[in-house]
Amino acid sequence: MGGISGKKRGKIMITIRLKDGKELHFENEVTLFEAAKKISNSLAKDVLVAKVDGELTDIRNNITDGTQVEFFTKADKEGLFTLRHTAAHVMAQAIQHLYPGTKFAIGPAIDDGFYYDLESDHVFSQEDFAAIEKEMAKIAKANLPIEKKILSRNEALEFFRSRNQDYKVILIQDLPEDAIISTYTQGDFTDLCRGPHVRSTGKLKVFKLMTVAGAYWRGDEHNKMLQRIYATAFFDKEELDRFLFVRAEAEKRDHRKLGKQLNLFSFHEEGPGFPFFHPKGMVIRNELIAYERELFREFGYEEIMTPIILSKKLWLQSGHWAQYKKKKPITHRFFDLMRYRLCVYASGTFNHFFLNLLYVLANCPQAALISLP
């Protein structure tokens, strides 16, 4: 990669290949956005992100000779992912305006939206969402261009230290000395980020803040508890309305609510996290077990059962013992480890349909699954 594909009248030629096999040739280094414009003005108007040799890449990046390039618009999931990533930055900028001094950790796009982890003296609640959304709408309406900048490690450290963004400093410190670091700036907000992002905040039109929760920095319970604001974004209001409808319907069918309403199982302090199955629940449980065993027979699996309680030696050997020692009281940890295990022996592995479903149904951790080679 990065070589010279050839020369034309003394000029360097850079060649990229599109998904359909067509090749584009350039006499000078151009950005992916400019390459999209060479294909058509309509694509340049709609393109949000690209893939270069299969890797999602910001359209601000320069093309590389000999690579395969694919462009994506709002019609593609890659386009929606990019929009949501930008939405996380817009939300952070809005929070910065409304709650100065907030320290930002990470803010990625996820399957159904995006979130941002942050530290603030203000304790966020859903009562704050309307004000944040209003400020986000202002930022979106301003159609601020989003500019990417490359910094050295030292430049990035100096920049974020000067703004008291401690979590960004930690992230940068974890990078190697020669790391090339990118930031994205929209108006008065700059974030440490690899991208990709849409070209301006004006692309964001439909969004909604959903919930707020606690989240340990880097998922480690020994670190500071941050606040995590979840939200979502779409290109069209109809898509958002559909998403909210499906979400509301799913909440009506929450397995924890249904378990109680249908008298399937209950939870008690004597066994936290462990379901106590009622007669009706046992009917469903047994039917699922029967169905699972039909699948076992169909695919040639054999069923075995291991003891409920096993020697501490096994968990020392497996490495589980030290991990549980860090995270749970010994009594809870012990029974969590020594729980009932149903295994299937075969030449491969088998997804335990019933026990995985049971895990979701009852939201309990006791269905530990192992597969033997």
Q: Are residues 16 and 165 in the same domain?
A: no
User: Residue 324: which pLDDT band, with cuts at 50, 70 and 90?
Assistant: low
> 201 versus 360: which is more confidently predicted?
201
- Flag whether pLDDT at 128 surpasses 90: yes
Structurally, the chain folds into a number of domains equal to 3
Q: Are residues 212 and 271 in the same domain?
A: no
- Flag whether pLDDT at 39 surpasses 80: yes
Is 136 contained in some domain? yes
Q: Are residues 212 and 88 in the same domain?
A: yes
Query: Bridge partners of 181?
Result: 151
User: Residue 297: which pLDDT band, with cuts at 50, 70 and 90?
Assistant: very high
Mean pLDDT, residues 305-327 taken together: 77
User: Residue 57: which pLDDT band, with cuts at 50, 70 and 90?
Assistant: very high
Is 65 contained in some domain? yes
Q: Are residues 313 and 331 in the same domain?
A: yes
Q: Are residues 192 and 229 in the same domain?
A: yes
Q: Are residues 25 and 161 in the same domain?
A: no
Nearest of 82, 206, 191 to residue 136 by alpha carbon: 206
Domain boundary among the residues 72, 96, 120 is at 72
Q: Are residues 210 and 135 in the same domain?
A: yes
Lowest mean pLDDT among 111-115, 160-164, 214-218, 253-257: 253-257
| CA distances (Å), origin 282, targets 135, 263, 264, 275, 276 | 51, 11, 8, 11, 10
- Flag whether pLDDT at 184 surpasses 90: yes
Is 362 contained in some domain? yes
The CATH number for 19's domain is 3.10.20.30
User: Residue 84: which pLDDT band, with cuts at 50, 70 and 90?
Assistant: very high
Q: Are residues 270 and 344 in the same domain?
A: yes
Q: Are residues 192 and 312 in the same domain?
A: no
| CA distances (Å), origin 209, targets 91, 122, 137, 215 | 9, 17, 12, 17
- Flag whether pLDDT at 6 surpasses 70: no
User: Residue 274: which pLDDT band, with cuts at 50, 70 and 90?
Assistant: confident
Q: Are residues 29 and 171 in the same domain?
A: no
Range among 147-161, 293-307, 351-365 with highest mean pLDDT value: 147-161
What pLDDT score does 327 carry? Answer: 52
Q: Are residues 91 and 209 in the same domain?
A: yes
> What residues make up the domain containing 337?
265-372
- Flag whether pLDDT at 187 surpasses 70: yes
Q: Are residues 201 and 124 in the same domain?
A: yes
Report whether 92 contacts 163 (CB < 8 A). no
Domain boundary among the residues 72, 91, 108 is at 72
- Flag whether pLDDT at 291 surpasses 80: yes
